[in-house]
Chains A and B, each alone.
Chain A
């Protein structure tokens, strides 16, 4: 039997980040990936023979401090362009462009809209600082906060309070509001309302009119603050952040094992002592860290029978049905659009909200909002690769996804063709990944990119559930570090980093004699 200090289940970006940091600290680490490739949803995906596309449109939102800590440049992170523009496509009016860090400059709007947007942006950026601070901290567990944790929170709150009485009051008023009301109050014009409404709700199973939907925008802005403003979108389809992280982890001495699907976590006296692979091989470890969905971790690998009822119930009840689909296109000609930018179709709040209605009733929306990026294909098989992210496409479609995929692709292409005339003709290959496909291909229950809903009732110390909010779990020796933990999904590596730092701070003396 092999023995490691730490065995990490799942080679997604969080697993790789945790693995890199733990291996570098001198621990013997193995990272087990069920698939052939590392990186999970941060990797690129081969949708047709020889044609790959990035799955995440933003290939890196890793905060600057973590970027440096992991020395990603040294490991070949050159891909991409910082400060990507966001371009709202809307046939018939001047193109709306957000330049720099989430619209530091705007074009295509009236001077009044520009002024109103900048006022709103400034306020939201200020408020998102609290988010950015909290995203970097291990959540404080109710009733067991250390002095350092309390001080860190008090400091973050004090910073908000010092931004002025009015701003502080606005933070306390706005934090749980819906994005539609906030943008309407700010009078930034229908197209910006639509864009912000889309950005705030993409992947959250909320509509812009759902209270608390502004949180989604805070989360996005927090990552603008913590990372390289404007995010990084792929220039080339060949390599994503995942490959870089895998190299970094390897270089630190972590053992990366692909095609190693874990079938269960072994337990002794209520303590995790290792894992069993599907092949039957056993690996024992001092600590088991799971970067996969908490539902899979506890439901499949640990088993609810080994958990306390209340905790097991909370995990089983996690809302984990995804609502985001992917569409990949290979084009034989570069369209009349520039690369290195993100394009969005979300013309108004009402448009986004109406399409969200469909999710509630498990229907296919007629004109769902979407975003896409275009990148180069290096083997020469296609002139351009388009990676489209489509909102409000429910996992549990009543009519079933068998016919649904084709219908979705056709409705998106029709719309794209209106926005970018001639695009449809140049498509030479395409594939739709609906939430059930994402579930099947990435071992992700529900196909949810946050693993389960990232909403205000499942954030911070309550993510994924009370008792597992600081990366520890009720099972001694078992840790979790995926998007299902604080601070949720998006390629930030923060869950992996925070989990690794908690694990390293733990005294080693807990290993039973």
Chain B
């Protein structure tokens, strides 16, 4: 690839980097994606870590990926297939379980088994949440305006937002104000009385977030997780056939089909800046690649504190980046099993085993897990989000065998201030396996291979600072025009020609692709290129 000239270099082949690269390549620019690992995908990967078994060893479910991008980039044609799964279950300590179903009425009937009153409230809840999603969804594919900015673009966008807000009724407006600031626990208390139902619904409020369900702001995190859709089914989640890596592979195929170049195994050491303008990147091995535009898919801290010389950045910007909160709070166990685990609580034909399984039956237990994290400990009673994707996609493991993904909230970046040791890792894994074993006797004996991932491993392999899966907390001070740094929320940086396109930017984390698409849109604007291949957000009715 040396000697070849590129218009754009994208640092990192995560899904957002690939999305941005696809759009830029399609606009007629020549784009190279440079990836440090020998594989692509960042945190959307399928890796064969045990013979014959594919691990979605970072992200593990799909929903948030914007359908507009999927269509623009023709991902189904390039092999992406997302299969919705049918709900899941929360196991209770008294041996019962609360199942969830995609079918609204089935779901409501199951709620009624626990509390008839909550089943009634669920109608009101679902309506309120859906309304808020409809308000926020179109904003995902728009660059957030700068409220302190006086450019016509900002004022136009602010007017657009104001008009949208004016369209809401007083009640919706009040609900929105409350949705954005409340804790998910308080929010759910306004609808439901049953602890198991509240625990089930609170899950989306804490995944990936260094906050407990009783912390204000988690109601928004819940909304963030609800905004996805599978096959137009808002709020549904699914598996990518072949694991989450299938998304990256489809993006890469789409990118290559339009003539793009991907270089793996090449770590970028620094971004070259001359006279306040990015002119290319220097690889860790010393090779320099020139390009007038550099797009970083790395998180904002890695990009501006490691790859760019701080001398060329304004002090206030560097401070803003330093103040950006990226807290590792999640861990994972990726497990290969020789057979399907049994859950005595579930009836034999229950479809829940194909969905998300949880063992935390009260909001208070989740909050206590968070308290342990605040003290720098992994939780003695962890919250586990467990999935067995091979129940729907058997191609991921040899016949009869299964891959299990256990996502654990909360897991600290440092154990009481020190680095993780092997004994710590074992202790962390044991706390999770012990919990699963209680609900699935014999689970441990089925294990053939297990990968333990604490925030430290996630940081080392994927490059996410502190192992934060969202490239930055989703608290209000880090959303919209504040993400990642006030005044720099438009994917541009103080260095001309250097852009950021990762989840550190609006609208934030999850395998969504929106940050990459929005960044590409801003870059094309700067280069005065046409956007004809880029759809606007679909109208949601």
Interface set of A (CB-CB < 8 Å, partner B): 141-143, 161, 165-166, 168-170, 172-174, 176-177, 181, 185, 206, 209-213, 310, 317, 319, 353, 357, 360-361, 455-457, 461-462, 466
Contacts and interface: CB of A to CB of B under 8 A. Distances in A.
23 contacts: A142-B174, A143-B170, A168-B147, A173-B482, A176-B181, A176-B475, A177-B475, A177-B477, A181-B325, A185-B323, A210-B215, A211-B216, A211-B475, A211-B477, A317-B190, A360-B214, A361-B367, A456-B216, A457-B178, A457-B181, A457-B182, A466-B170, A466-B171
A212 B368 contact: no
Interface string B502-523: 0000000000000000000000
Given A177-B476, A206-B216, A211-B475, 14 more contacts: A143-B169, A161-B148, A165-B487, A168-B148, A169-B486, A176-B475, A209-B374, A210-B215, A211-B216, A212-B181, A319-B189, A456-B181, A456-B182, A466-B171
A461 B182 CA distance: 16
A317 B189 contact: yes
A165 B148 contact: yes
Contact of B217 (A142, A169, A211): A211
Contacts of B217: 176, 211-212
B181 A166 contact: no
B364 interface: yes
Contact of A457 (B186, B367, B482): B186
Contacts of A170: 486
A462 B364 contact: no
Contacts of A361: 364, 367-368
Most chain B CB neighbours (cut-off 10 Å) among A161, A206, A457, A462: A457
A165 B481 CA distance: 14
The 4 closest A-B pairs by CB, nearest first: A169-B486, A211-B217, A456-B181, A142-B170
Contact of B481 (A172, A209, A310, A457): A172
A161 B154 CA distance: 15
Interface string B362-381: 00100110010010000000
A185 B322 CA distance: 9
B173 interface: yes
Interface class of chain A by DSSP:
helix
B216 A455 contact: yes
Given A357-B371, A457-B181, A176 B148 contact: no
Given A166-B316, A212-B217, A353-B374, A466 B174 contact: yes
Contact of B486 (A172, A177, A310, A462): A172
Contacts of B214: 210, 360
Nearest to A177: B477
B211 interface: yes
B171 A172 contact: no
Contacts of B323: 185
A51 to B, nearest CB: 39
A174 B364 contact: no
Given A165-B487, A173-B486, A206-B216, A211 B186 contact: no
B285 to A, nearest CB: 37
Nearest to A455: B216
Nearest to B172: A142
Contacts of A169: 148, 486-487
Given A169-B148, A360-B214, A176 B476 contact: yes
Contacts of A212: 181, 216-217
A462 B176 CA distance: 11
Contacts of B189: 317, 319
A478 B169 CA distance: 24
A464 to B, nearest CB: 12
Interface string B352-366: 000000000000100
A334 B374 CA distance: 41
Interface in B125-154: 147-148
Given A176-B181, A357-B371, A211 B215 contact: yes
A181 B214 CA distance: 17
A132 B381 CA distance: 44
Given A142-B170, A360-B367, A457-B186, A211 B211 contact: yes
Given A361-B368, A457-B178, A462-B178, A174 B374 contact: no
Contacts of A360: 214, 364, 367
A361 B370 CA distance: 13
Contacts of B368: 361
A209 to B, nearest CB: 7
A165 B368 CA distance: 41
Contacts of A165: 148, 487
Contacts of A353: 374
A462 B147 CA distance: 24
Nearest to A461: B174
Nearest to A160: B148
Contacts of A461: 174
B350 interface: no
A357 B481 CA distance: 32
B177 interface: yes
Interface in B478-495: 481-482, 486-487
A141 B323 CA distance: 35
B191 to A, nearest CB: 9
Interface in B306-360: 316, 323, 325
Given A212-B181, A317-B190, A456-B181, A172 B174 contact: no
Contacts of A211: 181, 211, 215-217, 475-477
A174 B182 contact: no
Contacts of A143: 169-170, 173
Interface in B249-270: none
A471 B515 CA distance: 44
Contacts of B367: 360-361
A173 B479 CA distance: 9
Contacts of B181: 176, 211-212, 455-457
B4 to A, nearest CB: 41
A141 B316 contact: no
Nearest to A362: B364
A174 B174 contact: no
Nearest to B178: A457
A258 to B, nearest CB: 37
A198 to B, nearest CB: 17
Most chain B CB neighbours (cut-off 10 Å) among A141, A173, A185, A319: A173
Given A176-B181, A177-B475, A181-B325, A209 B170 contact: no
Contacts of A185: 323
B377 to A, nearest CB: 13
A326 B189 CA distance: 29
